[in-house]
Structure 1
Amino acid sequence: MTLRTTLTATATAALLAILPNTAQAAQSYPDPRPVTGQQIIHDPTVIRLKSGQYAAYSTGGVIGARLSKDGRHWTDAGNAFAEPPGWWYEYNDTGDPWAPDISYRAGRYWLYYAVSSWGSNHSAIGVATSRSGLPGTWTDHGKVFSSETTDHWNAIDPALIRADGRLWMSFGSYWTGIRMVELDPRTGKALTDTPVHHLATRPDTPYAVEGPYIVRHGRHYYLFASYDACCAGVNSTYKIKVGRAKDIKGPYLDSTGKPMLEGGGDLLLEGHGRFIGTGGQSVFQDKGEDWLAYHYYDAEDGGTPKLGINKLHWSKDGWPEVR
């Protein structure tokens, strides 16, 4: 006999009233916007190209590519590269890249990505450029920044932001969490002897926070990051948290004032219903609006990773909410 069949309606209501962070909280998360076509994706980065169409790049293949005319129906467009650049094989045997980030500046599209192997911080971030941003048009420019097993960070999951006339790249996965370095805007690579700033971590090993993405809104910079475990299908526990700072270098605080360097962070989106393990997120702008792109594991399709997109709404006190 289940708990539900033994509780009276009054008792059930009383139980839910004292459990605001469980069933009621799960019901409060919106489902992703419906999309059609090629929905399978992991760690998406999305942009609206100058041509008017949308491009999404992702982990899988030689940086998997998806294209859309309206942001809703997506088609498989192959890969960013025809073949892995030779230097990738220094970091894994298959030339397998992860977690790309696309942006536009100085008349070109810039695609950052990571190469590594599971469970290692012998890792590197690379960069490629393209005039059109379309798959098959990218020219690789090699390493941007790297980490070794002697470092306390992991050079994967890159994301770029411009702040105060300077170019920055956040990155990180486990190994004490999220870091940031300054880039040379001309080459797109890390400045020589650039300090490695620490933005977020957790007090408990294995410091399960990764996939940073920073955006500017109003007077603040907002750090979005994925917490807990990805890549386990319906057993994934990925969720997205956020904090903000007035300086690009931090400190990033949640809405209670707790630093993200001390495990803080407001929960923005977590699994609910069929949408399990929401994370691997990025933020893109379209027609003046902010959108959150991420992957989830579809519990009604064997845990297949799929594209999630939700509009970001900003509250009166300046905090993001998914719609």
Structure 2
Amino acid sequence: MSFYETISKNAKTVETKLSEKLDLIKSDGAYEKYSVLEESMRYSLMAGGKRLRPCLVIEFAKLFGAPDNACLDYACSIEMIHTFSLIHDDMPCMDNDELRRGKPTNHIVFGDATALLAGDALIAYAFETIEGEMLSDRQNLLASKALSRHTGVCGMCAGQQIDLQSEGLKIDVETLETLHAKKTGALIKCACILGCIAAGKLQGCREYEDACTYAEKIGLAFQIADDILDVSGDEAKLGKKCGSDEKEEKNTYVTLFGIDKAKSMALSLCNEAKEVIGKYEGSEFLCELADFIVNRDN
């Protein structure tokens, strides 16, 4: 199976499971009284996208020997968390974006209050979903802790806060790396960790540590690629407006180093990631994924 066929297959598998999870909400006897909340959740959760994070869960679980489909609840959980972050990130109090994946953002369609609640509900539903039945209670507990740690005050939310308070200010490279390691890299790292947990490869073993190193490399490369696309990308392919970083006076690798140096840094990180994970039999897809991250156009 080719790289793009694998991406598509994983995305379809996850989207089918996500839709099933959303359908379960309708079994609540009071659903009709708050159905707009589920509609708001579904609008963003089922809006497409690369499904990169759940794909990483699936591929690391497969690489290290997890039973087929054992990790799907974990994959759905991290996509719910990612989607909540997009909904909140687009709101007027944050980035104030009106377009996401070529469609009006959630708050434009449903209003600020419902969009806020939809994001909140997705957080809660992610932790309900991660308590799946195919893996052990210990694995589910470790997965829940990993998701909480990489989402919350020491993870993605911390990165968002650093980003907000850095707007209009000059920051050093160390602060920029910390910002992106938390804001973007944390969930990418968590996805790789969840795949390891599903396969029984826990903290301290070589496979787990290599997965974390790979994730850190591609996480930073992903953000650098995003910075480059914001300057040179095609809005039609991106599904959102370009130039928002400059408009909001955000610190990026392009503003600090220039576009050519930023491209070189992303490529180096990609090669380092492939070196770490390429020693494992069956890692071809993950190596190709590292290349895809730095060469993508959306």
Question: Could you say which structure has the higher helix fraction?
Answer: 2
Question: Could you say which structure has the higher strand fraction?
Answer: 1
Higher RCO (C-alpha under 8 Å, 6+ residues apart): 2
- TM-score if structure 1 supplies the norm length? 0.29
Asked which structure has the greater CA Rg, the reply is: 1
